[in-house]
Amino acid sequence: MDYYAVIGNPISHSLSPFIHHAFAKQTQQQLKYEAIQVVPEALFKMLSWLKEKKVRGINITLPLKRQAFQWVDKATQRARHAQAINMIKFLESGRSIGDNTDGVGFIRDLDRQFGFSLKNKKVLLLGAGGAAHGILPAILNEFPHGVTIWNRTESRARELVNQFSLQWSHAIDLRVDSNQSVQASHFDILINATSAGIKKEHLMLPAHLINPDVFCYDLSYGDAASPFLECAKKAHARACSDGLGMLVEQAAESFREWRGIQPDIQPVLEQLRKKLKI
């Protein structure tokens, strides 16, 4: 039997064990996948222990993605761009390869659900944590008209922009925005990559940012996504989505890299929506 795990804190809400067991059943793979709670101070010790136990792969979730990037022996190009990983694959030799499948999961979900392309679009990305780091390279690769980053702690938004501006500033308008100028701007899509919802905290957003021309996407799902999506519906946003499709898409990409088989995401997404009643 091959073993896999997802690590993070909190982790009890994680749907990854359900998703990967469903993929395994669908593709007739023998594997066991567990969720393990890990605090940042214990991360490196836990990763070394899982490696010793010959676990084949690990998913990493908040708040450990950027820290885990420091641990792996090698990282894929998209993980190096993001400076954050959401999955590790262990080779037969024991070497660890870090990857980030969040970006591809996000772009594929936008396309699969809505046929929505980011090309030439004005993007407002809310948040500058692990998820924002993960999806930003994939967003930039779609050649948007511009990406504005807003974060509660502005210095983190600045760090994120500095990290990306060397490679991408010539192609797009990548900038940090203060609350004031965000209010005056117009966007085609608002992407909520903050953890405000999951922490049951209020996300302070100027109400008129959401209007009937704007597409709203929340990376979280279930109760965590409700406040943002309700706000979007009330303001008659053009369309809105939670991040459940992205979650299944990014998991499918991890599964494909670990097992060499592409699972069908649609039946698993439907099972999840039924299970969660969302």
Q: Cite the active site residues.
A: 65
Q: Residue 194 Cβ, how far from ligand NAP at the closest point, in Å?
A: 3
State whether residue 257 is helix, strand or coil: helix
In angstroms, the CA 234 to CA 261 distance is 41
- Give me the least distance between CB of 170 and ligand NAP, in Å please: 26
Determine the Cα–Cα distance for residues 134 and 150; give it in Å rounded to an integer. Answer: 16
Instruction: Please state, in angstroms and rounded to a whole number, the distance separating the CA atoms of residues 186 and 261.
Output: 41
**Distance (Å, whole) CA 17 – CA 25:** 12
Beta-bridge partner residues of 76: none
Q: Which is nearer to ligand NAP, 68 or 72 (CB)?
A: 68
Q: Cβ–Cβ contacts within 10 Å for residue 98, how many?
A: 25
> How far is it, in rounded angstroms, from Cα 192 to Cα 261?
31
**Radius of gyration in angstroms for the set of CA atoms belonging to the chain, rounded to a whole number:** 18
* Residue closer to ligand NAP (CB basis): 50 or 272: 272
Q: Compute the least distance from the CB of residue 119 to ligand NAP, in Å.
A: 22
Nearest one of 115, 89, 27, 40 to 254, comparing CA atoms: 89
Q: Which residues contact 246 (CB under 8 A, 6 or more apart)?
A: 102, 105, 106, 108, 109, 219
Measured in whole angstroms, the distance separating CA 170 from the mean position of its chain's CA atoms is 25
Quote the Cα angle for 273-200-86, to 5°: 60
CB of 25 to ligand NAP, least distance (A): 21
H or E element, residue 66: helix 65-69
Sites of contact with ligand NAP (CB under 6 A): 62-63, 65, 102, 105, 127-132, 151-153, 156, 193-199, 201, 203, 219-220, 224, 243, 246-247, 250
Q: How far is the CB of 122 from ligand NAP (least distance, A)?
A: 20
Residue nearest ligand NAP, CB atom distance: 129
Query: Cβ closer to ligand NAP: 131 or 189?
Result: 131
| Residue placing its CB nearer to ligand NAP in the complex, 38 or 219 | 219
Q: Measured from the CB atom, is 96 or 151 closer to ligand NAP?
A: 151
Nearest partner of 66 among 81, 51, 46, judged by Cα: 81
Least distance from ligand NAP to the Cβ atom of residue 221, Å: 6
CB-nearer residue toward ligand NAP: 96 or 195: 195
The token pair at 171 is: 């192609």
